[in-house]
């Protein structure tokens, strides 16, 4: 389409719309204001050079005049850039109007600045974020909102970003299945005396298709007031089979090694014994003894066990 005079309206009363004082104190004539509405032409068409060069308009427009345009697809402000009444044909060009000055906080409506209004390349400085406590981190809350929290649990963090694993945080359950593991088990005097009939569990079964492999065990005895008597050779076996009949998983210790009247340490190492899967796969490791139960002793023990969990398939 083309320019239509019927849709062009001057909103200021005179060619000279008043005086404007600039920031440098210079005074210039204020631009005239016009409106133009078209249901046929797009904003790009209206902004093209010489759209407003109709004979009836060109002498009315001056450089820097502002035209508020309502177009078929969007609205825009144009500013007259050039007017040449001597050319043949006469010409007029416009540019997008850019307001001078700045918009301060008082002129922004609360909540008006949305995410899409922030340039993707804005690179907002972190110092513009809310103040955070040193060493804290941002975590998405249950309501999916970034929330400042203090890191807790197994890991700690400091302001430099360095993290540390907390003391005692790593246990066997956190390790790879075939990593060396450790267990500590306290054994009462009555449990030690009774382990011939009721073996004492040191390590629980690892689960289906797994086998526990003993690396070593240190059985530390704290002497009470009465020595152990009788008893049979002590060993670590698979499962809680009574009367010391379980498949042996360790070396053995003579019964006399536990009859001392002082604190002692007895060590067990891995035992090499032919083992049917039915007796060792998904079975625990238990402390027991062979031939007969210990009697009379009142000393207590702590078993320190190092072992691995390996797949059986």
Question: Residue 15's pLDDT is what?
Answer: 58
Element (H, E) at 58: helix 55-58
Element (H, E) at 186: strand 181-187
What is the rounded CA–CA span in Å between residue 200 and residue 31? 99
Which class for 80: exposed (0-12), middle (13-18), buried (19 or more C-beta within 10 A)?
buried
Question: Residue 94's pLDDT is what?
Answer: 93
Question: Are 55 and 90 within 8 A, CB to CB?
Answer: yes
221 Cβ contact list (under 8 Å, min separation 6):
258, 260, 263, 264, 265, 266, 299, 300, 301
Q: pTM higher than 0.85 for the full model?
A: no
Question: Residue 18's pLDDT is what?
Answer: 64
Question: Residue 107's pLDDT is what?
Answer: 74
Question: What is the pLDDT tens value at each position of the chain, 313 positions in all?
Answer: 788 888 999 888 765 566 667 667 777 667 888 999 999 999 999 999 989 887 767 767 888 889 999 999 999 999 999 988 888 778 899 999 876 666 777 778 888 888 888 888 888 898 888 899 999 999 999 999 999 999 988 899 999 999 998 888 877 677 776 788 999 999 999 999 999 999 999 999 999 999 999 999 999 999 999 999 999 999 999 999 999 999 999 999 999 999 999 999 999 999 878 888 889 999 999 999 999 999 999 999 999 999 999 988 8
Question: Residue 75's pLDDT is what?
Answer: 94
Question: Residue 313's pLDDT is what?
Answer: 85
> For the segment 127-142, what is each residue's pLDDT rounded down to a tens digit?
888 899 999 999 999 9
Q: Which domains does the chain have, with CATH numbers?
A: 5-96 (no CATH), 176-311 (2.60.120)
In angstroms and rounded to an integer, the radius of gyration of the C-alpha atoms of the chain is: 45
Question: Are 221 and 231 within 8 A, CB to CB?
Answer: no
Question: Residue 60's pLDDT is what?
Answer: 79
Residue at token pair 């103040």? 131
């Amino acid at each position: 389409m083309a320019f239509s005079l019927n849709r062009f309206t001057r909103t200021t009363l005179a060619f000279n719309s008043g005086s404007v004082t600039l920031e440098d104190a210079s005074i210039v004539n204020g631009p005239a204001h016009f409106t133009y509405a078209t249901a046929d032409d797009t904003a790009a068409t209206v902004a093209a050079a010489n759209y407003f060069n109709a004979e009836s308009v060109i002498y009315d427009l001056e450089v820097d005049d502002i035209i508020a345009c309502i177009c078929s697809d969007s609205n825009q402000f144009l500013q007259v850039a050039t007017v040449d009444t001597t050319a043949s044909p006469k010409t007029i060009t416009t540019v997008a109007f850019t307001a001078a000055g700045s918009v301060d906080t008082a002129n922004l409506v609360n909540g008006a600045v949305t995410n899409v209004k922030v340039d993707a390349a804005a690179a907002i400085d972190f110092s513009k974020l809310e103040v955070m406590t040193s060493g804290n981190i941002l975590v998405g809350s249950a309501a999916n909102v970034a929330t400042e929290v203090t890191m807790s649990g197994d890991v700690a963090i400091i302001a430099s970003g360095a993290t540390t694993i907390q003391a005692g945080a790593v246990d066997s359950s956190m390790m790879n299945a075939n990593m060396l593991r450790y267990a500590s088990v306290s054994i009462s005097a009555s449990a030690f005396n009774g382990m011939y009939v009721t073996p004492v569990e040191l390590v629980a079964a690892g689960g289906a298709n797994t086998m526990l492999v003993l690396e070593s065990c240190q059985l530390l005895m704290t002497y009470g007031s009465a020595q152990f008597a009788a008893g049979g050779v002590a060993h670590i076996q698979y499962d809680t089979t009574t009367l010391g009949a379980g498949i042996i998983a360790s070396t053995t210790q003579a019964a006399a090694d536990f009859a001392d009247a002082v604190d002692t340490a007895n060590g067990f190492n891995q035992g090499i014994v032919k083992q049917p899967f039915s007796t060792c796969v998904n079975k625990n490791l238990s402390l027991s003894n062979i031939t007969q139960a210990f009697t009379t002793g009142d000393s207590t023990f702590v078993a320190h066990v190092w072992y691995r969990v390996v797949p059986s398939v």
